[in-house]
Structures are given as C-alpha cells and as structure tokens.
Amino acid sequence: MATDKVHIFGQQCQAPRCQAKSKRSGIQCRRAAMRGMRVCRTHGGASTGPKTTEGRARCGAAKNVHGRETREKRRKRAEKLRELRGLEGVMKLLGMFE
C-alpha cells in the first residue's frame, strides 16, 4: 500500500492511500484509506459485510463471478462440456471422429 505524507489538523502524518481507481481516467483516489482497509469511506471502507449466516448465504448465492456470468451459468456450461467430451469419446471409439 502506498503511503504519502498528508496534512491532518496542521500536522504531517503518513497514511495508506485508497486503492480505488477511476473507470474513466484510471487515476487512483488520493484519500487516506480507513484503518485496516485498502479503501476510503467513499469507496466502501466503512462496509462491514453481511453479519448473519443467512445474509452470508444470500450474498454468496447472488454474487456474480465475472460480469454477466453467474456461478450457475458456469456450472451449467461445465456440465454441458463434460457431456460433449463424453460424446466425442464415444464417436472416437466408433471411428466416426478422429
């Protein structure tokens, strides 16, 4: 984590910088990160996450793996690919596929 000297209440101190970056310009946020976090309050440093087991399960079930792709879509795709590989193996045994 990058630390820079900042003036807080007229004194210089070193604080880790927020690691969030702008989507458009790619410039890093220069605010001080919250203690024990990588980001400032604005970028989610104050978030504590789900506390209950139901909340954690709901968050895990809803979470996307990447972009529009959910865990369920990845699971279905992997299942179909396993099925396709099995069919290719059968076709090779029958001499229909090289």
Dist CA 53 CA 48 (whole Å)? 14
How high is the pLDDT of residue 92? 92
Average pLDDT, 10 consecutive residues per value, the chain (98 residues):
62 81 90 88 87 88 71 90 95 87
Strands (E), 18-96: 64-66, 69-70
Q: What is the DSSP letter of 65?
A: E
How high is the pLDDT of residue 52? 93
SS3 content of the chain, % helix, strand, coil (to 5): 40, 20, 40
How high is the pLDDT of residue 65? 63
For residue 3 the two structure tokens come to 């630390």
